Amino acid sequence: MGDQTRIPDETRIALLIDADNAPAAKIDVILAEVARHGVANVRRAYGNWKSPHLGSWEKVLHEYAIRPIQQFAYSTGKNASDMAMVIDAMDLMYARNLDGFAIVSSDADFTPLVMRLRSDGYAVYGFGQEKTPTPFVKACSTFLYLEKLRAADDVDDGATVRPRTGAQLQADRELVQLLRNAVSAGADDGGWSHLGEVGSHVRNQGSFDARNYGYRNLSALIDAMGLFEVRRNGQAVEIREKPKAAPAKTASRQRGRRTRPAAAD
């Protein structure tokens, strides 16, 4: 039995929330993002609901049709909710009624789970705070930092995430190499690659999402980076790496040649 009736031909996603390690204030933007990929047929949030610090989550459970999964803390310092969430994820995986999983947590302990789900062919969409350890981020099909996703009712209090500048993007060696490799992989004889192919390549390499850098999409990020030429023809967008400038002779050498005195007779 599923949490909701299946609609034919929909992409079915299980939304599993580690309530101890995720902010309730972001649930609307999380669901909006999940809706870009499919329908969250299963919606569950895990935690010890007797704990007062989960009060903010308790307020949104009914509003967003999220099923609370109660898990008592059996021992001090251990998070039993993590284990319950992993067990449920494996049960859902073996039931073969889903197409993907959305995991909301900033806890690296879920990395083996994500790797197992992906090895079985499931897409995994991760959501967490910027403190989320890199192994968990990289394991997901895509990963979005919650600080980059603003809720519709967020006030502009000066904490708005600013896009990284061109200089900051160019200084990110891992990002630059990722994009260069992606452009090179699909390049024609002139060095041009279709943006869609570049996007597919970077997504296959890890959990890349342009919004984590403050840009609405890959095209906007590439424009800001300044390392690639872009040409547009209607909806078609192609990019290639800008040619490296030939090393220029120093001005002093050039001036020296012009002013060198003639040899004496």
Task: Write out pLDDT tens, residues 150-197.
Answer: 643 344 434 446 788 888 888 888 888 888 888 888 888 888 898 888
Measured between alpha carbons, how far is 7 from 149 in angstroms, rounded to an integer?
28
In CATH terms, are 12-148 and 166-241 the same topology?
Answer: no
Judge whether 121 and 99 are in contact, CB under 8 Å. no
197-213: average pLDDT: 77
Class of domain 12-148: alpha beta
243-261: average pLDDT: 57
C-alpha distances (whole Å) from 1 to each of 5, 6, 10, 15, 209 are: 9, 10, 17, 16, 34
Tell whether pTM > 0.85. no
DSSP class per residue in the chain: --SSPPPTTPPEEEEEEEGGGS-GGGHHHHHHHHHTT-EEEEEEEEE-TTSGGGHHHHTTTTTTTPEEEE----STT--HHHHHHHHHHHHHHHHT--SEEEEE---GGGHHHHHHHHHTT-EEEEEE-TTS-HHHHHHSSEEEEGGGS--TT---SS-PPPPPPHHHHHH-HHHHHHHHHHHHHT--TTS-EEHHHHHHHHHHHS---GGGGT-SSHHHHHHHH-SEEEEEETTEEEEEEPPPPPPPPPHHHHHHHHHPPPPP-
Position 206 scores a pLDDT of: 65
pLDDT digits (tens, 9 = 90+) for 39-85: 999 999 999 888 888 889 988 999 899 999 987 765 544 466 788 89
Does the structure show a pLDDT above 90 at 16? yes
Q: Map out the domains of the chain as residue ranges.
A: 12-148, 166-241
Residue 237 CB partners (closer than 8 Å, separation 6+): 194, 195, 219, 230, 231
102-122: average pLDDT: 94
Instruction: State which of 1-15, 232-246, 248-262 shows the largest mean pLDDT.
Output: 232-246
Does the structure show a pLDDT above 70 at 254? no
Average pLDDT, the chain: 81
The CATH classification number of 166-241 equals: 3.30.420.610
pLDDT digits (tens, 9 = 90+) for 28-37: 889 988 988 8
Position 153 scores a pLDDT of: 38
115: which 2 tokens? 């790797």
